[in-house]
Amino acid sequence: MAESVEDQLVTRLRQSQFFSLQLDESTDIGNEANLLCFVRYIYAGGVHDDFLFCRSLPTNTTGEAVFQSLNDFIMANNMDWSRCVGICTDGATAMTGKLKRLVARVRTVAPSAAAIHCCIHRKQLAVKKMPQCLKSVLDESVKIVNKIKGIALNTRLFKALCEEMGSEHTKLLFHTEVRWLSRGKVLTRLFELRDEVMLSMHHSDELYDRMHDFQWLAKLAYLADVFSALNTLNVVLQGKTVTMFNVQDKIKATRMKMELWCGRLDRGEFDSFPTLADFLLTAGEDMDRSTVASFKQHLQDLHSQLGIYFPELDTSFEWIRNPFGDKTHIEQVSSKLSPREVDSLVDIASDGTLQTTFREKGLTDFWLHIQPEHPELADSALKLLMPFPTTYNCEVGFSSLVGLKTKQRNRINVDYDMRLKLSSLEPDIASLMAQKKKQHHSSH
């Protein structure tokens, strides 16, 4: 069945005008390095995402080894590298580089392929910088959680305490750097269960006083609110229909909110941070000016870092998401287009029917729709819309790998299982049955 699915996918990829890739590598419970790859391609008038392969890397996980595994699959299935328009990775050293890294090797066979650093990984790098007073609160929060969660007896005692107190939750959440959505949920849960945590801690514990410290709890509430907002941003950056324009719009909106939040902090308004606002209202105390200043500094640092990791898009791409405008608009956004492409853009901008189609369809679907009539311009647009902005599919795939490859099955070859689990294609059962019948008759 897995081979049937792979055959269908390869057939589609050979017919696709363009395709893009996303890759990531991770070590499983059997200490094997697994390379996971997904592909985006055009087929039957639509854009599709699908699982390409899961391969073990026999020795090194260098960019050269990753490229070799990827190239072997492409060559074995007679796929055309020149049709690759993008490759998205997590930005690790093995993936990026000028000489022997994966992206450099891919560009030797696919010169037009755009190298994309996963937007969620970029965002995670951007949020690492924070004032030391907030960093210490985050580190101490993680220590408190791990002290309770890291020992089975402590976990059971804490659960019993929460049940006895009628708490909404009975468990804290582990914090881990490799889970995108962990930090905001971890801090929010710790703040919600702060009374229960205080009762479960011993007076001799070095962090016991933190649960009584108003300023420390206010910083915890602030961090819970900020990282919850960043969690929400993580979620909207995921998905199969997200393009680079969606990413840029969401980042721009987040940075604008941070500017507004800084202004509200200057006026002593905390409604932008609901957990903190409720805490201050209940406690009836005021925060130190230095604490508020650290909040503002943190937001300004976040704003700055997001601007560094997500620079403004070139305005010459604006015609892709807004092909309708007057002569002045077209002249402004068409600096990198050929004269024939500009003429096509004028035809599109003057077509009232296409404006209705544009509102009804997604961006990629719209350019696919007009490709037969305006092939050159549509091709230029699709080359920029096709690349994956995130390695979201790979992260989902690794979650599936964890379920398939367990301690008891640590030597299993998961390639076939992963294909059936992650592929959007269905096996051709009728063809497989006919083949089995033919084998059965020939054996007699």
Asked if pLDDT for residue 8 goes beyond 60, the answer is yes
Among 267, 292, 309, residue at a domain's last position:
309
Predicted confidence band at 162 (pLDDT cuts at 50, 70, 90)? Answer: low
59 and 101 in a single domain? The answer is yes
**Where is 435: in which H helix or E strand?**
helix 429-443
DSSP 44: T
Specify the amino acid at residue 65. Answer: A
Among 336, 359, 385, residue at a domain's last position:
385
**Where is 424: in which H helix or E strand?**
none
pLDDT tens for each residue of 10-24: 999 999 999 999 998
Q: How far apart are CA 63 and CA 93, in angstroms?
A: 8
Beta-carbon neighbour count of residue 252 at 10 Å?
A: 15
88 and 205 in a single domain? The answer is no
Tell me the average pLDDT across 120-138: 90
Q: Dihedral sign for Cα 402, 47, 67, 415, please.
A: positive
Of the listed ranges 57-61, 117-121, 140-144, 169-173, the least confidently predicted one is: 169-173
128 and 215 in a single domain? The answer is yes
* Contacts of 341 by beta carbon, 8 Å cutoff, 6+ apart: 334, 376, 377, 380
Q: What share of the chain is helix, strand, coil (3-state, %, to 5)?
A: 60, 10, 30
DSSP 313: P
Domain of residue 193: give its range: 124-309
173 and 64 in a single domain? The answer is no
425 and 321 in a single domain? The answer is no
325 and 353 in a single domain? The answer is yes
Of the listed ranges 118-127, 290-299, 392-401, the least confidently predicted one is: 392-401
Beta bridge partners of 84: 19
pLDDT tens for each residue of 312-330: 988 888 899 889 888 888 8
Nearest to 71 by CA among 106, 26, 101, 31: 106
157 and 113 in a single domain? The answer is no
165 and 273 in a single domain? The answer is yes
pTM: 0.84
155 and 248 in a single domain? The answer is yes
377 and 395 in a single domain? The answer is no
Asked if pLDDT for residue 216 goes beyond 80, the answer is yes
Tally the residues of the chain: 444
Transcribe 166-234 into DSSP letters.
T-S--------TT-TTHHHHHHHHHHHTHHHHHHHS-TTSTTGGGGG-HHHHHHHHHHHHHHHHHHHHH
Predicted confidence band at 170 (pLDDT cuts at 50, 70, 90)? Answer: low
Long-range CB pairs of 361-364 (<8 Å, 24+ gap) are: 362/241, 363/243, 363/245, 363/320, 363/321, 364/47, 364/241, 364/243
Beta bridge partners of 42: 47
CATH number where 436 lies: 3.30.420.40
pLDDT tens for each residue of 411-423: 667 788 888 888 8
178 and 301 in a single domain? The answer is yes
Tally of domains in the chain:
3
Predicted confidence band at 368 (pLDDT cuts at 50, 70, 90)? Answer: very high
Per-residue model confidence (pLDDT) at position 62: 78
pLDDT tens for each residue of 276-300: 999 999 988 888 999 999 999 999 9
Half-sphere exposure of 171 (CA within 13 A, CB side): 11
- How many DSSP H helices and E strands does the chain contain? 21, 5
Highest mean pLDDT out of 238-247, 293-302, 432-441: 293-302
